[in-house]
Structure 1
Amino acid sequence: MRTITLSNGKMVEVECLSCALTSGVIEPEGGVVIETEYFHAHQDVAYPIKGLIILASKRHIKCFDELTEEERMDYINILSKIRKAQRKVLGIEHVYYFYNEDTTHHFHTWMVPRYEWMYKFGRSVESVRPVLLHARNKLNNEENIKEVKEAIRALGEELNK
């Protein structure tokens, strides 16, 4: 078991944070954006950026090539659906996608939107870490968190029609 501090300060003991989130043992702050048979999408409010979505597999795997054919089809379909909703509901024109296999969690993809304010950190993938840290350290206030949660609600509403 590992002790993990959630973005709201609550500490939980879990074997795997992703498993706890995707199984509903832990409710992500702001709630679930959309869920399918194989995947679970939520926003990590530790990085309070409207529309930043984490799409995680429900099955405990680490690598893209471990997905079954059904999971691969579901993954690309739900990823595309989320991206379309980001554009339609939140006006997000550009997104960076990240997936890594050396994580302590299991297979998940980060969908990090690009907003105009982010360009002061650069235009390349190297700017994403400073953007995330800026959001965590400077945008973690009541007003912005309220906007992020409203974006979560709006995306969820669009995606679950």
Structure 2
Amino acid sequence: MRKITLSNGTTVEVECLSCALTGGLIEPEGGVVVETEYFHAHQDVAYPIRGLIILASKRHIKCFDELTEEERMDYINLLSKIRKVQREILDIEYVYYFYNEDTTHHFHTWMVPRYEWMYEFGRSIESVRPVLLHARNNMNSEENKKEVMSAIKALTNELKC
């Protein structure tokens, strides 16, 4: 078991944070954005960037090639659906996608929107980590938190359709 402190300050003890989130043992702050039989999408509000989504498999696997055919189809359909709603509802023009296999969590993809303010950290993939750290350390104002929560609600409402 690992002790993990969530963005709201609550400490939980879990084997796998992703399993706890996708299994409903821990409710992500802002709630679940969309859920299917195989996947669960939420925003990690520890990085308060409007429209940032984490799409996680419900099954504990590490690699893309471990997905079943049904899971692969669900993954690409859900990823595309979320992206379309990010563009249409939140007016997000660009998104960086990340998935890595050397994580302590299981298979998940980060969908990180690209905003104008982020260019001060660079224009390439290398700028993403500094952007995430900047958001976590400097963007926790009540006004920004309200914007993030509003975006979560807008995405959730649109993805229910």
Distance (whole Å) between structure 2 residues aligned to residue 18 and residue 149 of structure 1: 21
Corresponding residue for 2:10? 10
Pairing of 1:6-155 with structure 2 (within 5 A): 6-155=6-155
Question: Please, what TM-score do these two structures have when normalized by structure 2?
Answer: 0.99
1:141 Cα offset (Å): 1.6
Distance (whole Å) between structure 2 residues aligned to residue 16 and residue 55 of structure 1: 15
Deviations 1:54-105 (A, max 9, x none): 0000000000000000000000000000000000010000000000000000
1:140 Cα offset (Å): 1.2
Question: Please, what TM-score do these two structures have when normalized by structure 1?
Answer: 0.99
1:8 Cα offset (Å): 0.5
Number of aligned residue pairs: give it.
161
1:142 Cα offset (Å): 1.3
1:143 Cα offset (Å): 1.2
RMSD of the alignment, in Å?
0.4
Deviations 1:6-40 (A, max 9, x none): 00010001010000000110000000000000000
User: Could you list the runs of 5+ residues in structure 2 that have no partner in the other structure?
Assistant: none
User: Could you list the runs of 5+ residues in structure 1 that have no partner in the other structure?
Assistant: none
Deviations 1:106-156 (A, max 9, x none): 000000000011111111000001100110011012111111000000000
Aligned-partner SS, 2:28? coil
Aligned-partner SS, 1:32? coil
Aligned amino acid, residue 19 of structure 2: C
